Chains A and B, each alone.
Chain A
Amino acid sequence: MLLSGLAVLLAAISLLWMFQGIGGGNREFILRLRGGKLAALITVAASIGVATVLFQTVAANRVLTPSIMGFDALYILLQSVMVASMGSAGVAGFPDIAKFLVEVGAMSMLAALLFGMLLARRGRDIPRTILTGVILGVMFRSMSGFLTRIMDPNEFAVVQAASFASFNHVDTTLLPIGAALTTAAIMIALWLSPRLDVMALGREPAVSLGLRFDTMVIGALMLVAVLVSVSTALVGPVAFFGLIVAGLAHGLTQSARHTALLPAAALIASILVVGGQWIFERIMGQAATLSVVIELAGGIFFLYLLLKGRIR
């Protein structure tokens, strides 16, 4: 019911996005341009929404997001390491898609290892987990900062482009592979839904019910890593947006079932991003940037959660 409502809303906004103010001349070109961007926005939004819900389930916490824990910073660091070690010429010679796949693979391994360890050790101690994640994020960022400083300007430009969020300049070369990865990751997450429901109970009840908890944690974190890699590669890091989406998904579905939560998160995120981008690009004529507004709203929501003591 809710899901079909959200789907209809998204369809309506997408139609608006595609056909609003379309002139007589060169319709085909405009439609192709808009269609590509729409697909990219939905891919990114769905990735962030689903990744955040998954991550909050693994962390048993409603305040954490992959970005707060440094996932996207890790991805950018990986990118800097690649560029620094191969040189921009080497990276340019290397096909984009192959490079991206290598990054996604490395990212999944590292994220499962690093965050799996972190959550296994400190899973219950939330303030400490947040603090460690924030410190990791800062570390990753300063390490990539250091690498960019010793790079030559061409290499720097490659990394620089990846380090700032922008919904205006979506990197569409990676769109087909990114969309495919996102779709696959979301399908797997949906298939794992019953197990995710059990995992959400917490480690002890889940183990008691016979879930292979540690395997599930690693699997879920790898899915999160793939989704964050896609969204970061396409638009750059977005810290707090996922928090709003996951909060809305939980609030609107009033359910702990991932068969409802995951599609709801994907749809809500897409509605917010496509709708927001439509307003900013077509109505306000680029006067403001969607990513900034989203981050601001998300940041305020994060503070609200913390101040309300809703840290669990």
Chain B
Amino acid sequence: MITVEGVNHQIGSVRILHDIRTRLPEGRLTALIGPNGAGKSTLMRLIGRLEALQSGRITVAGHDLATTRTGELAKIMAILGQNTAIASRLRVAELVGFGRWPHHKGRPRPQDRDKVSQALEAFALTSLANRFLDEISGGQAQRAHIAMSFAQDTPWLLLDEPLNNLDMAHARGLMTLLSELVRGQGRSVAMVVHEINYAAAWADHVIAMKDGRIMAEGDPDTVLTEAVLSKLYDTPVSVGRHRNRPLVLHHA
């Protein structure tokens, strides 16, 4: 479980998050939704210790972020930020290989190489393994970054808008893979989802944020309703059903 207690955050004099208090359940796929600028990425980055905590307390699987060494945390959670730009010029396989670094600290063992090939295979990157990241498409690069987090092989996986740049087939492939991780291997996934119907179709738990506050949270059926979503996005939304799950329609 991830617990967030009394987390406030400000940049300059602007308050970005207001007293956030929430729990992300273990062994579930949690979707963070909300309009642009709601503070979803900021909350993700705080949980993933990419940003320093200004107030409050966050624990991941019982480890307090404030007192756990960052190298230990890297074996508990992998986080992929929204902006995945990489400074160095790397081949796909090298990037994915870095996902094993928390485990081998620079001396890859045979099992690390196996995990890397599995990750390449799972994200259909095997044929691109030797290409440089700047010589493949945006969607392929996005998959390579997710594959790196996947290879990190942590109980928690935090992804900020991983569906960016992915076409329909690959987006669906990723969601299927993530729910298989959750249901088949008991791992926990938290992701920021921009396209709400991916949350509707795959999430077990939804957290809806607006203006730096949590507006609603719970299972998809209680959060993804016309009342909540219309207020969340300040726009009329209708919610139907498809295969016993909510289906959000936003064309007038």
Binding site for B on A (CB under 8 A): 60-61, 193-195, 197-198, 200-205, 207-212, 250, 256, 312
Residue on B nearest A208 in the bound complex, by CB: B79
A60 to chain B: which residues have CB within 8 Å? 87
**For the complex of A and B, 3 pairs with smallest distance between CB atoms:** A194-B106, A210-B74, A60-B87
A201 contact from B74, B75, B86, Cβ within 8 A: B86
Residue on B nearest A257 in the bound complex, by CB: B94
A210 & B98 in contact (Cβ 8 Å cutoff): no
A202 & B80 in contact (Cβ 8 Å cutoff): no
B149 to chain A: which residues have CB within 8 Å? 208
- Give Cα distance in the complex from A61 to B85, angstroms: 13
A194 to chain B: which residues have CB within 8 Å? 101, 105-107
**B109 in contact (CB, < 8 A):** no
15 further interface pairs, Cβ-Cβ under 8 Å (given A202-B85, A204-B50, A205-B84)? A194-B101, A195-B106, A201-B86, A202-B86, A203-B50, A205-B148, A207-B70, A208-B78, A208-B149, A209-B98, A210-B71, A210-B74, A210-B101, A256-B89, A256-B94
- Give Cα distance in the complex from A61 to B99, angstroms: 23
A204 to chain B: which residues have CB within 8 Å? 50, 81, 83
Residue on B nearest A250 in the bound complex, by CB: B89
A211 & B70 in contact (Cβ 8 Å cutoff): yes
A250 to chain B: which residues have CB within 8 Å? 89
A209 & B152 in contact (Cβ 8 Å cutoff): yes
A207 & B50 in contact (Cβ 8 Å cutoff): yes
- Give Cα distance in the complex from A194 to B152, angstroms: 16
What is the CB-to-nearest-CB distance from B44 to chain A, in angstroms, rounded to a whole number?
11
A200 to chain B: which residues have CB within 8 Å? 87-88
B148 to chain A: which residues have CB within 8 Å? 205
**B49 in contact (CB, < 8 A):** yes
Residue on B nearest A60 in the bound complex, by CB: B87
A256 contact from B50, B83, B90, Cβ within 8 A: B90
- Give Cα distance in the complex from A69 to B7, angstroms: 38
What is the CB-to-nearest-CB distance from B119 to chain A, in angstroms, rounded to a whole number?
14
What is the CB-to-nearest-CB distance from B132 to chain A, in angstroms, rounded to a whole number?
9
A208 & B48 in contact (Cβ 8 Å cutoff): yes
- Give Cα distance in the complex from A207 to B83, angstroms: 14
A210 to chain B: which residues have CB within 8 Å? 70-75, 101-102
- Interface of chain B residues 14 through 32 with chain A (CB within 8 A): none
A205 & B98 in contact (Cβ 8 Å cutoff): yes
Binding site for A on B (CB under 8 A): 48-50, 70-75, 78-81, 83-90, 94, 98-99, 101-102, 105-107, 148-149, 152
A197 to chain B: which residues have CB within 8 Å? 88, 98, 106
B50 & A208 in contact (Cβ 8 Å cutoff): yes
- Give Cα distance in the complex from A204 to B85, angstroms: 9
- Give Cα distance in the complex from A221 to B199, angstroms: 45
B71 & A202 in contact (Cβ 8 Å cutoff): no
B49 to chain A: which residues have CB within 8 Å? 207
B101 to chain A: which residues have CB within 8 Å? 194, 198, 209-210
Interchain residue pairs with CB less than 8 A apart (5): A197-B106, A205-B148, A208-B80, A209-B74, A256-B88
Residue on B nearest A203 in the bound complex, by CB: B50
What is the CB-to-nearest-CB distance from B53 to chain A, in angstroms, rounded to a whole number?
13
Residue on A nearest B75 in the bound complex, by CB: A210
Q: A195-B106, A210-B71 are in contact. Are A201 and B87 (CB under 8 A)?
A: yes
What is the CB-to-nearest-CB distance from A64 to chain B, in angstroms, rounded to a whole number?
12
Q: A208-B80, A210-B71 are in contact. Are A201 and B98 (CB under 8 A)?
A: yes
- Give Cα distance in the complex from A312 to B88, angstroms: 9
- Give Cα distance in the complex from A207 to B52, angstroms: 11
B89 to chain A: which residues have CB within 8 Å? 250, 256
- Give Cα distance in the complex from A205 to B81, angstroms: 8
- Give Cα distance in the complex from A18 to B102, angstroms: 47
What is the CB-to-nearest-CB distance from B218 to chain A, in angstroms, rounded to a whole number?
29
- Give Cα distance in the complex from A280 to B18, angstroms: 67
B48 to chain A: which residues have CB within 8 Å? 208
Q: Max chain A CB contacts within 10 Å: which of B74, B94, B98?
A: B98
What is the CB-to-nearest-CB distance from B84 to chain A, in angstroms, rounded to a whole number?
8
Residue on B nearest A254 in the bound complex, by CB: B89
- Give Cα distance in the complex from A208 to B44, angstroms: 12
Residue on A nearest B78 in the bound complex, by CB: A208
A207 to chain B: which residues have CB within 8 Å? 49-50, 70
Residue on B nearest A207 in the bound complex, by CB: B50
A212 to chain B: which residues have CB within 8 Å? 70-71
Residue on B nearest A259 in the bound complex, by CB: B106
A312 to chain B: which residues have CB within 8 Å? 87
B86 to chain A: which residues have CB within 8 Å? 201-202, 205
B79 to chain A: which residues have CB within 8 Å? 208
A201 & B50 in contact (Cβ 8 Å cutoff): no
What is the CB-to-nearest-CB distance from B50 to chain A, in angstroms, rounded to a whole number?
5
Q: A208-B78, A210-B75, A256-B90 are in contact. Are A198 and B70 (CB under 8 A)?
A: no
